[in-house]
Each structure stands twice: as structure tokens, then as C-alpha cells.
Structure 1
Amino acid sequence: MSLLSNLLPILMMAGPAVLPEPPASDPMFHAEPGSLQPEQIRAMQQRLADWPQLGYYREQNAALPAATADRPRVVFFGDSITEGWGATGSSTFFPGKGYINRGISGQTTAQMLLRFRQDVIALRPAVVVVLAGTNDIAGNTGPATQAMIEDNLHGMVELAKAHGIAVVLSSVLPVSSYPWRAGLRPADKVRALNTALKQYAGTEGIVFLDYHALMTNKEGGLDVALSADGVHTTPAGYARMAPLAEAAIADALAAAGAVPSGRTQGTQP
């Protein structure tokens, strides 16, 4: 039997806890067992064959021009929240910056750690903005403890620092429930992880980007104005995040001594 034949029944019975974050428009994640079409099975087989999704940005990476000294390269690295910057029009929030988006919807920190060399280090950025962990808490690729999430994020930071890349470590966005994980109440886990990440950033001397503090409501989640589903940000949510990200990137560039021409260290963009 093929790998897919062995795993498909398990995947279908286990539900979204072991599948990538399910887009509402993707019928693959809402099909009854036995009802999948050949093209859906092929898509699942491709995901199983490339679990960290190394092929997702391979062509874009190969076509990327070399970084220039007057425009330090910044890579946004993460899951659907990061990928959504592009979906909502990154030029709207970061006009003329040319930031590189390497977010993949549904990914956990374990998957991101495996593709960090290809999608970050090989691009030779001055700064990487890492935002990850919410899908681990949701259990997208299986149960994950806080220690496991921290280990993966620490691994990314260590790899970046070893290659001279300044790190902006982002807090996980507030979330009080996941649409694909009924009954899970993640708000306290998110707070605990963010507390640990902030402490780690201080110890490592890297910039901590705290989205959570300025976006959370009394339930520890996102308001309707900032998110339609309680997880993914709306344009209004990104508009609140953008100046925080810009300030954090400026701090990281200044600390690394990589300041674009026309700006002095410590000047906000």
C-alpha cells in the first residue's frame, strides 16, 4: 500500500487536529471519508510528500534578485497571519519597502524550523520577523507543549544569529477559540507562551514585537473589527499591526547597524 493509503484513514478520522489549518473554501477539509475526488487525494499526497512545504516558495526564492546595501532585506516568516500581509496588499501597509513574505497558512513551528534555512537564511536578509506558534497551540500537526514550541522558536533564533541575521520575535496574536478546534480555549496558553517569548527575547538581546498587548479583548481574543473568525486579521487588524512591525524592524536594523540610506540609526520609518 502507498503512504497515502496507509495514512488517509487516520487523517480523516483524526480530523483537523492533525491537518493543516482548514481554509473555509477548501472542500478537501470538509469532505466525508470516501468522498474525496482524485485531485483532492493528489493534493493530500503532495502535502504528505513535502510536509514542511519546501516547494511552496522555491521558485520565488530562485528568482529573487540580490539584496542591495541601500535597501536592507527584511523577511516576514510565519503562518497564515504572515501570509495574509500579502493577501491584503503589503504595499498598502509597507509602501516602497519591498519586504519579502514567507508565510504559509496552517504551518506550525516544527514545519517552519525545517524550512528556515531555505526561506530565510538563503535569502540573506538583514532582519527576519518571526510570528509563529498559534497553530501549534491549535494542534495542527499534533499535540505540542509550550516547551516544544519554545524549542522550535529558539532554534530559528539561534540559526538566524549564527548567520548574522537580526531577529524580531513576535508575540502570538490573541485568540480565544479556533473555528476548526471546537472546545479548545487557547487564550491562557497564548498568554503564557508570549510571556516566555518576551523573557527569552530580553535574555537573547533581540527585539520583541508585542502585538498581543494592543490587540487583545477581555476574553483574550480578537474583536470582530480586527478579525472575522477570531484568528485571522482583517485589514483593520493589519493596520494596527503595521506600525508596530515597522518600529520593531527599525530597532532591529539600528541594532545591527544596517540602516538604509537617508535614515539615521534610531529614526523610525
Structure 2
Amino acid sequence: GNSITDYWPKTDSAFFVGSAYEYIGRGISGQVSGQMLLRLWPDVIALQPKVVVILSGVNDIAENGGPYSPEATLHNIMAMAELAQAHGIRVVLCSGLPAADFWWHKGLEPAPQIVALNQQIRAYAAQHQLVYLDYHAAMADARQGLPAALAPDGVHPNLAGYRVMEPLLQQAVAQALRRK
């Protein structure tokens, strides 16, 4: 993951301490899907978790790594999923969180691109019998952004935002663990 994953244990450490599962957060703020793919081996495969939860793509849309390529982003996410599966790790693919704008890169109008990427991730997950975790549907407001009550900066969840995400994450991990 990226900053959403990185900030989660800092924002709600009680969720990780009191959980039925041992979560290992490997989020690095600002990273794009290609950077996450490069660190999949040391951050995931080498640790041999039962499940990996992949939340990636929104920083690609924010052009943190250069111009956005929908194809390259989807291929990076697919490669992460396939590498994890090849090493016996179950996969949960997450939707990107909604965002109507990025405070660090104004004017991109990312909402339609996030929706389109999420549709592609959902289709890929269904085609490959992977768990799809739809944070977007649970958190989007009428503008297809994050409401201020869940993310004051419009991108990064606060405690209330993570509290929406937590039961969804628990359900997705449990679903992945039930799969062969």
C-alpha cells in the first residue's frame, strides 16, 4: 500500500493490536504501483503471509510517478496478484479510495479515473476468483470523493474513515482465508 496503509496503524493502532489476525503494514506514502511491485518480494513474499491485501493505483492517477497510464497501473496490480498467488499467498484486491481532487496536484479531476480503474480491478478479481474489497462504494460521497467527515484533506482517512474500512478489511481477509 501507500499512505492509506502507512497512516492506518498510526491513526488506529488499537485495530491492529486487538485484531483476530496479525496485520503487517507495508505502506509507503506516495508510492505508485510500479514501486509497490518492486518491493513485493521483500515486503510480502519473503514474509509468507497467508493473505496479502493490495491497495494501489490512486497515486498513479495522482501522477506521483509521472503521467498516468491506466494500462501500466492495472498490469502492475495484476503482476502483484499473480506473483503472490504463485507463492501460495491468497490475494485481496482493493478498490482505490474515492478522491474528487488531490491537494498536492490540483486540477486532475481524478474521480472518473478512479472509478474506471476500480471497475478494471473488480473485473480482474472476478475473472481470477480473487476477493475484491470495495472501499470506494462504502466511502464515496455524491462527488465521488471522500467526505470531510472521513478524510479532512479529501484523500487520507481519519479515525472515522478507518473505522468504515476496518470491518470491510476483516470480512475480505476472512473470505480470502476460506478460499483454496
Taking structure 1 as the reference length, the TM-score comes to: 0.65
Alignment RMSD (CA, Å) = 1.0
Q: Provide the C-alpha distance between the structure 2 equivalents of 1:216 and 1:89, rounded to a whole number of angstroms.
A: 21
- The aligned amino acid for 1:102 is R
Counterpart position of 2:130: 206
1:168-187 matches, within 5 Å, as 168-187=92-111
Q: Please report how far the alpha carbon of residue 239 of structure 1 lies from its aligned counterpart in structure 2 after TM superposition.
A: 0.1
Q: Provide the C-alpha distance between the structure 1 equivalents of 2:107 and 2:73, rounded to a whole number of angstroms.
A: 21
- The aligned amino acid for 1:131 is L
Counterpart position of 2:18: 95
Q: Please report how far the alpha carbon of residue 107 of structure 1 lies from its aligned counterpart in structure 2 after TM superposition.
A: 0.3
Q: Provide the C-alpha distance between the structure 1 equivalents of 2:15 and 2:35, rounded to a whole number of angstroms.
A: 29
Q: Provide the C-alpha distance between the structure 2 equivalents of 1:156 and 1:92, rounded to a whole number of angstroms.
A: 26
2:45 pairs with 1:126: no
Unaligned runs of 5+ in 1: 1-77, 257-269
Q: Please report how far the alpha carbon of residue 213 of structure 1 lies from its aligned counterpart in structure 2 after TM superposition.
A: 0.5
The answer as to whether partners of 2:51 and 2:173 remain within 8 angstroms in 1 is yes
Find the residue that maps to 2:54 and give its secondary structure: strand
Question: Which structure 1 residue ranges, 4+ long, deviate > 2 Å from structure 2?
Answer: 89-94
Q: Provide the C-alpha distance between the structure 1 equivalents of 2:16 and 2:139, rounded to a whole number of angstroms.
A: 17
1:8-27 matches, within 5 Å, as none
Q: Provide the C-alpha distance between the structure 2 equivalents of 1:218 and 1:167, rounded to a whole number of angstroms.
A: 30
Unaligned runs of 5+ in 2: none
Q: Please report how far the alpha carbon of residue 94 of structure 1 lies from its aligned counterpart in structure 2 after TM superposition.
A: 5.9
Q: Could you give the per-residue CA deviations for residues 55-82 of structure 1, whole angstroms, max 9, x where no partner exists?
A: xxxxxxxxxxxxxxxxxxxxxxx00001
Q: Provide the C-alpha distance between the structure 2 equivalents of 1:243 and 1:94, rounded to a whole number of angstroms.
A: 15
Find the residue that maps to 1:217 and give its secondary structure: coil
1:23-62 matches, within 5 Å, as none
Find the residue that maps to 1:226 and give its secondary structure: coil
Q: Please report how far the alpha carbon of residue 87 of structure 1 lies from its aligned counterpart in structure 2 after TM superposition.
A: 1.0
2:75 pairs with 1:151: yes
Q: Please report how far the alpha carbon of residue 136 of structure 1 lies from its aligned counterpart in structure 2 after TM superposition.
A: 0.3
Q: Provide the C-alpha distance between the structure 1 equivalents of 2:81 and 2:163, rounded to a whole number of angstroms.
A: 26
- The aligned amino acid for 2:125 is A
Q: Provide the C-alpha distance between the structure 2 equivalents of 1:169 and 1:134, rounded to a whole number of angstroms.
A: 13
Q: Could you give the per-residue CA deviations for residues 148-205 of structure 1, whole angstroms, max 9, x where no partner exists?
A: 1001001101100100000000000000000011111000000000001000000011
2:152 pairs with 1:217: no
- The structure whose RCO (Cα within 8 Å, separation 6+) is larger is 2
2:9 pairs with 1:86: yes
Q: Provide the C-alpha distance between the structure 2 equivalents of 1:150 and 1:91, rounded to a whole number of angstroms.
A: 33
Find the residue that maps to 1:143 and give its secondary structure: coil
The answer as to whether partners of 1:93 and 1:242 remain within 8 angstroms in 2 is no
Considering only CA atoms, is the larger Rg found in Structure 1 or Structure 2?
A: 1
Find the residue that maps to 2:122 and give its secondary structure: helix
Q: Provide the C-alpha distance between the structure 1 equivalents of 2:86 and 2:68, rounded to a whole number of angstroms.
A: 26
Match of 1:189 among 113, 136, 142: 113
Q: How many residues align?
A: 179
Q: Provide the C-alpha distance between the structure 1 equivalents of 2:87 and 2:13, rounded to a whole number of angstroms.
A: 26
